[in-house]
Chains A and B, each alone.
Chain A
Amino acid sequence: MNLQIVGVGGQGILLSSKVIGGAALDKGLDVWMSEVHGMAQRGGVVVTTVKIGEIVYSPLIGDGEAHAILGFEPVETYRAIKRAAKDTWIVTNIAPIVPFTVSSGKQKYPKPDEIFQSIEKVSDRLIKVDAKKLAQEAGAAIAQNIVMLGALTATDALPFSREEMENSIRKNVPEKFVELNLRAFDLGFRSAKEQM
């Protein structure tokens, strides 16, 4: 199972890949992931790869090799599109984070709907998640990353059941935030199921 998680520095991507990696460890599977630390964490593009299997040989994937793309931001989802193939699940947050190259008026940010339509022309496995709204519903906007994990779990991309993922959340987030995150996970899960 090859998963590409993409987004912007500061969106909590490291935690979500840790939760997935933890679930793999619990299940006795091999896992190898590649993370981004350093300069890009200052609001740059963050690309994390998670690979899970009986044996995993490397921490990166090539074009067409992702079984799922988890996009925390529409443009970043789109940037990663060539990693996907026809059967790849593409789970994306719908809320843009506008880079300063755009907010300063120098470059243009495409309309998210146009991005999604263009993906839908080549894939019938796009799932759109309003992560911010759902996270706020669960109790706090910072839980967006776990909302996204819930949505991803609703697809059959991950080799884990819903319970296995929830257990890993319990182990990997600070205790006082577990309930909040489980609510966020549930809302994401249901939002994706409704679209499938």
Chain B
Amino acid sequence: MKELLDDEPGKKILLLGNEAIVRGAFEAGVGHGSTYPGTPSSEIGNTLEKIAKDYGMYFEYSANEKVAMEVGAAAAASGRRAMVWMKHVGINVAADALMTLMYCGVRAGMVIVAAGDPSVHSSQNEQDNRYYSILGGIPMLEPTSPQEAKEMTKYAFDLSEELELPVMIRTTTRVNHARGIVTFGELKEPAPIAHFEKDPGRFVAVPQNARKNHPRLLEQLGKAGPLSEKSQFNREMPVEEPELHVIGSGAGFNYVHELREANGLPISILKLGMTNPFPDERVGRFIEDAKRVLIVEELEPFIEDKVQAIAKKFNPALEVYGKHTGHFSRLYEYDPNVVREAVSKLIDVPPSEEPLQAEDFALPSRPPSLCPGCPHRATYYAVKKALGKREAIFSSDIGCYTLGVQDPLNTADFLICMGGSVGAAGGFSKNTDQKVFAFLGDSTFFHSGLPALVSGVYNQHDFVYVVMDNRTTAMTGHQPHPGTGRTGMGGPAPMVSVEDLARGAGVEFVETVNPYEIEKTTEVFKRAIDHPGISVVVTKYPCVLLDKKKLSKTPLKVDQDKCKRCYMCVNKLGCIALVKEGDDVVIDTTLCIGCSHCAQVCPFDAIGPEVEQ
């Protein structure tokens, strides 16, 4: 990705939306970047991991989104251009910082990328973050393509600086993870180290200052209004004698634009790219003479509600179609089918090619699963073995280990958010008669598992606190975190110890085990279960995807003569390399990495390396 550093204006290259955002920041002279990883925003950080140093900016993975927001805020308040990015739910974590930061504002441009995930491809919900722009008074841009993501990022820095307010770029998966041709503009030098000029009246949000800063925010937003009215990212695309008007934003706009162009439909389109402050006048003029307008936007009726309000002034007879009329859903992302169907209800659309209709097979589902050799699977097996017939509630968290929810492990009973396993485990321990486990990853521990641990010790909660330490943030693509000894820019870092933190918090039972040693791990869990209060067990073994050498280890084999068809391996461990063929269990040698978990689980010693047989 070194190409992102090329200073060749006009050069065209194929970029992922997230890479285009990085380039946009480079063209704006960004000096600071901070984030906590999360799909679909992660590749912004993954890219900067490789090239931030060469570009000359500062970049860090913060322990969580709130911290990422705060370090970015300080950079921008000091006068150094800063970008902060996270997934949509990351904004929830950072919201406390963000809401009051809007009162204080910034001195240099600060851009916040909030990456949404309609259809919940890789998330815990599909909340529509555009409402944050209203809640916080945050100027907002919504890109539709990688090229526009780059342009908007660059512009957002200027806009932010002009208004002295952070600006939000709200993306969705189909922009972040779309790849398209992007034309480079001029590369700019990264903003240099700054010097913070003190101004407590502005930057210290005590009540008397906050009361002054709130009107300041409204005043600045007032100045943003006219900029939205004439924004280049809001664009009328009229046709002569339109039969339908459409207002669209984000990915939804793309599909309706395509449908119009492919079929020559008589639709006048207003594409909205700057949606807070809302360009009331411009929308008003667009709908003034219209009879019917269809609003194409994914998730909530954000634009639709505004258009209804604006129509009262500009065109009370206007028929507004969208989610309130059932033409679109508030659920999931759109695609060409969805948009075609909605538009067809209002004007004639020529049919598409007849899709092939093959006979209906019952196709097996293919949910994502823990990798062969994943230490999380061994940990779960050991926990269940240690419990035996005793029942327990498994309070889970977000990471690869969440995949323990599947058969046959079933080690997730409750999950709402990152770090949530711990608080919930405490709640279960105080309010139910069941044994309780909290499962969280190492990255999640540093993100938000730590304060909940402290709270649990203080309130004398009683559960087994399992930190599944695979030495990385695996689910989102192996980013480093405070426990890994490596910074976001690739330099060495102190390794923060989970065990020391737990002991420091006053936990008496803190043990570290290698989950690859299933029997030993089971013994430790047995003791942890019997220990009153919070017992912390750190199951430490690196993610198998990190250690590429392990992937080529010799696969194991089932000795069919020794196998008694008890199916312990399939039914209790459930590694995806174990395949049932008729009554036999065989090992898929293309998947097996020889981790030996199944061999340890087999009561009849029927699984081992091929050579020994």
Contacts and interface: CB of A to CB of B under 8 A. Distances in A.
Given A60-B336, A103-B578, A105-B570, A121 B368 contact: no
B14 A21 contact: yes
A60 B180 CA distance: 12
Nearest to A55: B261
A15 interface: no
A161 interface: no
Contacts of A121: 358-359
Interface string A50-79: 000001111111111100000000011011
Contacts of B362: 107-108, 110
Interface in B561-613: 570-571, 574, 576, 578-580, 588, 590
Interface in B336-362: 336-337, 340, 352-359, 361-362
A173 interface: no
B500 to A, nearest CB: 31
Interface in A27-49: 30-45
A79 B360 CA distance: 10
Interface stretch (A83-91, A147-155, A186-194): A83-91
A25 B363 CA distance: 37
B365 A99 contact: yes
A109 B177 CA distance: 31
Contacts of B337: 62-63
A180 interface: no
A18 interface: yes
A18 to B, nearest CB: 7
Nearest to B260: A57
A157 interface: no
Given A57-B254, A57-B258, A81-B356, A31 B177 contact: no
Nearest to B341: A62
B178 interface: yes
B443 interface: no
4 interchain residue pairs of minimum CB distance: A38-B122, A62-B336, A57-B258, A38-B39
A82 B357 contact: yes
Contact of A78 (B14, B43, B361, B477): B361
Given A33-B179, A82-B355, A60 B255 contact: yes
Given A103-B578, A122-B356, 7 more contacts: A39-B368, A65-B352, A104-B407, A104-B570, A109-B364, A115-B361, A119-B358
B177 A75 contact: no
Contacts of B177: 34-37
A8 interface: yes
B470 to A, nearest CB: 13
B368 A42 contact: yes
19 contacts: A25-B13, A25-B14, A31-B14, A37-B477, A38-B122, A43-B576, A44-B366, A44-B368, A62-B337, A82-B355, A84-B356, A99-B369, A100-B576, A101-B365, A104-B407, A104-B408, A118-B358, A118-B359, A123-B356
B40 interface: yes
Nearest to B477: A37
Contacts of B400: 42
Contacts of A196: none
Contacts of A60: 174, 255, 335-336
Q: Tell me which of B14, B359, B370, B570 has the highest count of chain A C-beta atoms within 10 A of its own C-beta.
A: B14
B221 to A, nearest CB: 32
Contacts of A34: 174, 177-179
Residue of A18, A39, A115 most packed against chain B (CB within 10 A): A39
B180 A101 contact: no
Contacts of A42: 368-371, 400, 403, 475
A81 B363 CA distance: 12
Contacts of B356: 64, 81-82, 84-86, 88, 119, 122-123
A101 B366 contact: yes
Contacts of B336: 58, 60-62, 65
A67 to B, nearest CB: 10
B122 A40 contact: yes
Contacts of A37: 39-40, 42-43, 122, 177, 477
Contacts of A109: 364
B121 interface: yes
Contact of A57 (B122, B257, B340, B364): B257
B294 interface: no
A35 B262 CA distance: 23
Nearest to B357: A122
Contacts of B12: 25
Contacts of B257: 57-58
Contact of B340 (A38, A40, A62): A62
B16 interface: yes
Given A9-B368, A40-B121, A21 B363 contact: no
B354 A86 contact: yes
B407 A40 contact: no
B3 to A, nearest CB: 12
Interface string B13-55: 1101000000000000000000000011011000000000000
